């Protein structure tokens, strides 16, 4: 179990948890690294007020408990020195060697963007010339969309740098995970807006990464802490329910453990049985996925059986199924078919004597070490030869998943690619010859084609799944047999890169498609890019937009260069439309019309001054409505309750410190937009268009339909929230069968 205790006194605590196989030289090396880090960080404190060295030691302790090599523990102690002190990478290399320096460099944050654009230079000037502005104006600037975008891009550049380093040395990511875990443990000291952002990033990136590496010990704690700060009310509710039922559950598990131990001992099989705690995040996921309340989550009771070898696993499974009835569809054999992160175990669920479900996991000690420590278990068994082969398998598998990483230069796109290609669950599909192809969940036939062979992907024109023709946006499922229908020659369609159509989900396939277009000649890409961009702007009614200004915003020397980038797929139409919309507080200039009346104001439209993303709810005693003078009262576990200022309950309140200033937020505006759709008339056409609008939560205000000689012309007035949504809806409507075009009608 990874320790959560405070690290005081720091060095003594670290030395206590170092693996017993570390030599005296190893321990001296770690002590030297500790003293070096302590000196470098000596005048620094964390937000909590603790000495900064406490964080470095906590990271080293997490790594030591994973039993990694001494150089990794030393790098854990030094991981923030280059980033936060005057120590340089050359200093680390001189004093601790190339290996430690390389690991420290891999986890060091970037402090500036490596590809500085004109826009970045402009922003730098804007911030540097800000010394004479008052504090309120500076705060507004720092919280502006521009500043947030820059911070997000910098964070993604840092992640990209770390993931690229991970491809060369997997130990870099172990340090990064340990660093993130301790930051999550101490996240309560950070401001509310930072807490939510960091916690969400942990759930999106770091917990899935720990899962992909098979390190259960880190995964579950990152997930639970992430949920604690992204969904505090739900976390508290589940934690309270678990606490209330813990005593009864422990009593039941003790009786179950004794019964199982007696049964299995009769057969002569040695067994170690432990109660398996269900973690808060996994309960939350089951409640969401199966739409069940806490009481109906099936596997709150679980036991883990550790037996000497694989034959014993199946023998014990037989004993359990003989004595208790198995629950249908609840048996998984991950020994014969390991999970994609190399996890192995037998899982079953039975109805126990009391009529309630009991989940059972059966595995060997080696499987248990792999389940707990994942890829880090390699170093626990490094003296045994066969483990190296499996370690190499894991590394090669990870590298294969990330083959595309060097081809993607944009940091945001790189991180999105990691989420889709590396962190998502996997599906396993078959070629017509029976070969297994491993793809991320949600992958399409085009993704499959590019995984089989680049040339097959380029010439893909259709697909059969299990013998039936399917559309190219079909989401493949485990067990599907896929046959690609390919042309004899030709290349991919530029539509495949349109994110609105959902034809390609993997970064690998996107990179291959872009590579094909980049090899076309410049003139062809220029012509195609110009046609694509002008068609989209014409369709959105934005012909008067200054394209030279747009090219400069993307840091291209000329408009032609931007056309070429669009033509070869370096920059997507979706990205351009997002840029037109991004950072605009008021989009009415893009629509050239007055917005519709705002939607009803909800609780989310109330802002608490000085606090971000705090839960709000309306008091039932005074029922405030928009326009009333209001105040907020902080209640434990329920955020801020909104009262009218003249509410008697508020006037009688003695604890004035818990009263906060609040204001009615801005309700979301929508804009009425007139669009025209031309199509060949068919049965169900209107229903399909309605489904597209419904899926986007778009209100249809008016419609005129005219059918002449089997040609239908529909003019609709729809309520659109922004230009990005308009682009997405028009693309999806235009992609419907029989639809020839869908575009926005300009006034006059």
Beta bridge partners of 616: 640
Retrieve residue 611's tokens: 């606090």
254 and 350: one domain?
yes
- The whole-angstrom separation of Cα 28 and Cα 487 is 65
Residue 500 lies in a domain: no
685 and 559: one domain?
no
- Tell me the whole-structure pTM to 2 decimals: 0.61
Residue 123 lies in a domain: yes
213 and 241: one domain?
no
Residue 413 lies in a domain: no
Mean pLDDT of 468-488: 89
The percent of residues above 70 in pLDDT, for the chain, comes to 75
Instruction: For residue range 223-247, list pLDDT tens digits in order.
Output: 999 999 988 888 888 888 877 777 7
Last residue within a domain, chosen from 175, 205, 230? 230
Q: How confident is the model at residue 362 (pLDDT cuts 50, 70, 90)?
A: very high
Residue 381 lies in a domain: no
Residue 77 lies in a domain: yes
176 and 36: one domain?
yes
CATH number at residue 225: 1.10.3210.10
147 and 213: one domain?
yes
- The whole-angstrom separation of Cα 596 and Cα 671 is 5
Instruction: Tell me which of 83, 237, 403, 688 is the catalytic residue.
Output: 83
579 and 633: one domain?
no
Strands 630-635 and 659-664: antiparallel
**According to the 3-state scheme, what is the secondary structure of 309-352?**
CHHHHHHHHHHHHHHCEECCCCCEECCCCCCCCCCCCEEEEEEC
Q: How confident is the model at residue 307 (pLDDT cuts 50, 70, 90)?
A: very high
CATH number at residue 273: 3.30.460.10
Q: How many CB atoms lie within 10 A of CB 526?
A: 20
219 and 279: one domain?
no
- The whole-angstrom separation of Cα 202 and Cα 96 is 31
Nearest to 580 by CA among 535, 542, 527, 538: 542
pLDDT attached to residue 253: 85
Instruction: For residue range 586-613, list pLDDT tens digits in order.
Output: 444 455 444 454 444 444 467 666 565 5
Q: What is the CA radius of gyration of the chain?
A: 29
Is 83 one of the annotated active-site residues of the chain?
Answer: yes
Nearest to 358 by CA among 344, 348, 343: 348
pLDDT attached to residue 321: 92
130, pLDDT greater than 50? no
Which has more confidence, 167 or 44?
A: 44
When divided into structural domains, the chain yields a total of 6
684 and 626: one domain?
no
Instruction: Tell me which of 50, 84, 120, 153 is the catalytic residue.
Output: 84
Q: What is the DSSP letter of 205?
A: I
pLDDT attached to residue 602: 46
Which has more confidence, 421 or 343?
A: 343
CATH number at residue 689: 3.30.70.260
Instruction: For residue range 671-713, list pLDDT tens digits in order.
Output: 788 889 999 988 888 889 988 888 888 888 888 999 888 899 9
- The whole-angstrom separation of Cα 473 and Cα 534 is 26
Residue 498 lies in a domain: no
Last residue within a domain, chosen from 376, 402, 432? 376
204 and 85: one domain?
yes
Spatial strand order in the sheet of 699-708: 699-708, 711-720, 671-680, 739-744
Retrieve residue 290's tokens: 């199966």
224 and 236: one domain?
no
700 in Cβ contact with 718 (< 8 Å) = yes
Residues whose CB falls within 8 Å of the CB of residue 151, separated by 6 or more in sequence, listed in order: none
**Mapping DSSP to helix (H, G, I), strand (E, B) and coil, where does residue 241 land?**
helix
- The whole-angstrom separation of Cα 438 and Cα 401 is 9
Residue 247 lies in a domain: yes
Last residue within a domain, chosen from 315, 348, 376? 376
89 and 210: one domain?
yes
Residue 397 lies in a domain: no
637 and 569: one domain?
no
648, pLDDT greater than 50? yes
54 in Cβ contact with 10 (< 8 Å) = yes
* Host domain of residue 438: 424-491
């Amino acid at each position: 179990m990874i320790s959560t205790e405070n690290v005081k006194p720091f060095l003594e605590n670290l030395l206590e948890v170092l693996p017993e196989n570390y030599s005296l030289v190893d321990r001296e090396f770690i002590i030297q690294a500790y003293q070096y880090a302590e000196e470098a960080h000596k005048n620094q404190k964390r937000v909590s007020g603790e000495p900064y060295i406490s964080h470095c030691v906590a990271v080293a302790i997490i790594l030591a408990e994973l039993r990694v090599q001494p150089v990794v523990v030393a790098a854990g102690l030094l991981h923030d020195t280059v980033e936060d002190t005057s120590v340089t990478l050359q200093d680390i290399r001189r004093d601790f060697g190339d290996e430690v320096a390389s690991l420290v460099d891999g986890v060091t944050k970037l402090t500036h963007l490596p590809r500085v654009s004109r826009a970045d230079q402009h922003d730098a000037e804007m911030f540097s010339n800000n010394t004479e502005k008052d504090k309120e104006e500076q705060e507004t600037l720092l919280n502006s969309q521009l500043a947030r975008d820059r911070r997000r891009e910098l964070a993604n550049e840092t992640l990209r740098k770390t993931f690229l380093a991970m491809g060369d040395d997997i130990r870099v990511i172990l340090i990064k995970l340990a660093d993130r875990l301790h930051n999550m443990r101490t996240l309560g000291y950070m401001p509310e807006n930072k807490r939510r952002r960091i916690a969400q990033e942990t759930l999106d990136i770091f917990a899935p990464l720990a899962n992909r590496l098979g390190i259960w010990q880190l995964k579950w704690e990152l997930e639970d802490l992430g949920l604690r700060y992204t969904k505090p009310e739900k976390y508290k509710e589940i934690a309270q329910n678990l606490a209330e039922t813990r005593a009864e559950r422990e009593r039941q598990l003790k009786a179950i453990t004794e019964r199982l131990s007696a049964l299995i001992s009769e057969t002569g099989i040695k067994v170690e049985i432990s109660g398996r705690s269900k973690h808060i995040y996994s309960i939350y996921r089951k409640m969401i996925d199966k739409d069940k309340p806490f009481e109906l989550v099936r596997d709150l009771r679980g036991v883990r059986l550790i037996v000497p070898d694989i034959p014993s696993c199946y023998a014990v499974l037989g004993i359990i199924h003989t004595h208790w009835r198995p629950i249908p569809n609840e048996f998984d054999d991950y020994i014969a078919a390991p999970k994609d992160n190399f996890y192995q175990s037998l899982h079953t669920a039975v109805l126990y004597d009391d009529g309630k479900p009991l989940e059972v996991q059966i595995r060997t000690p080696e499987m248990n070490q792999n389940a707990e420590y994942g890829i880090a278990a390699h170093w626990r068994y490094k003296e045994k030869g066969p483990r190296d082969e499996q370690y190499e398998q894991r590394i090669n598998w990870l590298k294969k998943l990330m083959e595309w990483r060097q081809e993607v230069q944009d940091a945001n796109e790189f991180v999105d690619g990691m989420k889709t290609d590396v962190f998502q669950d996997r599906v396993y599909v078959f070629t017509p010859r029976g070969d297994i192809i491993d793809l991320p969940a949600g992958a399409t036939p085009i993704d499959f084609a590019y995984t089989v062979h680049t040339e097959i992907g380029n010439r893909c024109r259709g697909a059969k799944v299990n013998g039936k023709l399917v559309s190219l946006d079909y989401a493949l499922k485990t067990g599907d047999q896929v046959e690609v229908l390919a042309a004899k020659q030709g290349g991919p369609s530029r539509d495949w890169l349109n994110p609105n159509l959902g034809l390609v989900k993997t970064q690998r396939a996107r990179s291959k498609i872009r590579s094909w277009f980049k090899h076309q000649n410049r003139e062809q890409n220029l012509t195609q890019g110009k046609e694509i961009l002008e068609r989209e702007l014409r369709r959105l009614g934005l012909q008067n937009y200054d394209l030279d200004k747009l090219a400069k915003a993307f840091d291209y020397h000329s408009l032609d260069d931007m056309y070429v980038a669009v033509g070869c797929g370096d920059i997507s139409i979706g990205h351009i439309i997002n840029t037109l919309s991004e950072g605009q507080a008021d989009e009415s200039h893009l629509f050239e019309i007055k917005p519709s009346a705002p939607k009803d104001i909800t609780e989310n439209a109330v802002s608490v001054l000085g606090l971000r993303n705090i839960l709000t709810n309306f008091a039932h005693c005074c029922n405030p409505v928009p326009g009333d003078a209001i105040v907020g009262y902080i209640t434990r576990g329920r955020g801020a309750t909104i009262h009218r200022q003249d509410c008697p309950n508020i006037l009688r309140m003695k604890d004035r410190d818990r009263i906060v200033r609040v204001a009615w937020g801005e309700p979301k505006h929508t804009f009425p937009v007139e669009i025209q759709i031309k199509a060949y008339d068919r049965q169900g056409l209107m229903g399909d268009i309605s489904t597209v609008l419904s899926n986007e939560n778009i209100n249809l205000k008016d419609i005129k339909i005219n059918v002449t000689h089997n040609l239908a012309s529909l003019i609709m007035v729809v309520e659109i929230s922004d230009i990005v949504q308009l682009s997405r809806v028009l693309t999806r409507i235009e992609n419907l069968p029989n639809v020839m075009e869908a575009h926005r009608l300009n006034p006059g």
